[in-house]
Each structure stands twice: as C-alpha cells, then as structure tokens.
C-alpha cells in the first residue's frame, strides 16, 4: 500500500514503549494499512520516545506536571498535537494518565487502549500480582475502545494466556506482553481495513474467526 494511503495513527505513551515498538515493527511492512503519524509522551525521557525517534517517527512531549490539577488544559494540548498530525486513531500504549470525559468524548470510537488483563476483570495497576492472588487459571490482554472510566469500554479483541502454578508476577507479565505485542498491531490493522464496527458497548469485527473450542485447566 502506498504510504500516502495508509491511515494515520497517533500513539500516546508514558514508559518503555514495547507495545509502541510492536506497532513500529508492524507498520514497517509495506502492506500494513496504517502508519504512525506521531508519538506523544507525557513523560520527558520515556524510553518510548527513543524507539519512535529510531524509527524516524515524529515525537512530542507534553509533560502533564506544569498543568497541575488542570487536566483539561493538559488534554487541550494533547488534542492540539493529535489534530496537528491528522490522527484518525489514537492508541494508548502504556499511557498512564486518566483522561477526562471531555477528551474521551472528543475521540469517541477513535481512541483505543491496551490493558494486560481479560477485562472487565483486573482493571488498574499491579494486574499480574492480583491475578495470581485471585488464583484464576487464565489471564491475558484486551484492546478496547476507551470510555470515561479507567480501563473500561467496548472490547475489540482479547488474547488468553494460561497462568502456571510456578508463575510470578514477572513471568506472567512477560508472557502476557508477548500476546500484547501480537494483539495491538492486529487490532490497528483491522481498524485500518475498516473491519471494526462499534455499536454502543459492543464491537463487531468483520470477518473475525472465533476458536471452535474452549480451554480447560488442568488438561492432564
């Protein structure tokens, strides 16, 4: 696909940026139907910024701290940056600021987030430690459209990861992260191909193939 035809995605980050890297790697393929127009970080010096720069993607830093409690002013600066780069989709990839209802409404059905659990279970921080403490047998990751509450909104796709008896929060996080890196570029591709159809709180993915059978634990 000609780069000029590729849909424009902006990525908001706060940290090391491994999910951003998965997107950068995906968009490098000539037939990928989206490109990253800008990476915006609220954290100066975030590792994600170096990843974007290494890939030749324009970056912006909008530090939330000078805005103090004025979240709307911070988000107005974010929106100005997103509009300037012509973003059609905004992807939260480890962006660790809560967004106001106004910002979420402005980008409704054009704002997606990745979270390292099978939502709506285990919203928030320290996901993997809480998964282990709860004794669930399966966890995973979710990509969803963003609605005002934290880690809430219509689910687009999920990947399931088994929890092993010997897992620590670190080993589990590492296995979930592998799936995050597959899921996010896949969802952005589906969006760019026009296959995502959010209706209210439910998303249909055109042409989706659903596994025929469930997973049962333990299997032996």
- Name 206's Cβ contacts closer than 8 Å, sequence gap at least 6: 194, 195, 196, 197
Burial class (CB within 10 angstroms; exposed 0-12, middle 13-18, buried 19+) of 109: middle
Q: Is 151 an interacting residue with respect to ligand GAR (CB under 6 A)?
A: yes
Q: Is 93 an interacting residue with respect to ligand GAR (CB under 6 A)?
A: yes
Give the residue with the Cβ less far from ligand GAR, 53 or 83: 53
Q: What mask of x and - would describe binding to ligand GAR in positions 164 to 203, judged by CB under 6 A?
A: -------------x--x-----------------------
Give the residue with the Cβ less far from ligand GAR, 28 or 30: 28
Residue 197 a catalytic site member: no
Q: How many CB atoms lie within 10 A of CB 161?
A: 21
Give the residue with the Cβ less far from ligand GAR, 1 or 150: 150
Distance CA 118, CA 122 (A): 7
Q: Is 94 an interacting residue with respect to ligand GAR (CB under 6 A)?
A: yes
Distance CA 216, CA 220 (A): 10
Distance CA 166, CA 175 (A): 13
Window contacting ligand GAR (CB under 6 A); options: 14-22, 36-44, 128-136, 159-167:
14-22
CB of 44: closest distance to ligand GAR in angstroms?
15
């Amino acid at each position: 696909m000609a780069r000029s035809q590729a849909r424009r995605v902006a990525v908001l980050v706060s940290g090391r940026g491994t999910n951003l890297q998965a997107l950068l790697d995906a968009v490098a393929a000539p037939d990928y139907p989206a490109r990253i127009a800008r990476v915006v970080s609220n954290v100066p010096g975030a590792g994600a910024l170096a990843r974007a720069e290494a890939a030749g993607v324009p970056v912006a830093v909008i530090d939330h701290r000078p805005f103090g409690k004025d979240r709307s002013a911070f988000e107005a600066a974010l929106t100005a940056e997103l509009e300037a780069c012509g973003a059609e989709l905004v992807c939260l990839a480890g962006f660790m600021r809560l967004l106001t209802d106004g910002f979420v409404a402005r980008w409704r059905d054009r704002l997606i987030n990745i979270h390292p659990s099978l939502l709506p279970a285990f919203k928030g921080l320290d996901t993997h430690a809480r998964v282990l403490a709860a004794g669930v047998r399966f966890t995973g990751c979710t990509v969803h459209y963003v609605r005002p509450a934290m880690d809430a909104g219509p689910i687009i796709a999920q990947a399931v990861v088994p929890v092993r008896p010997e897992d620590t929060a670190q080993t589990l996080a590492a296995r979930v992260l592998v799936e995050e890196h597959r899921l996010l570029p896949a969802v952005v591709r589906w969006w760019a191909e026009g296959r995502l159809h959010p209706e209210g709180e439910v998303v249909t993915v055109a042409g989706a193939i659903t596994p025929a059978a469930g997973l049962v634990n333990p299997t032996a």
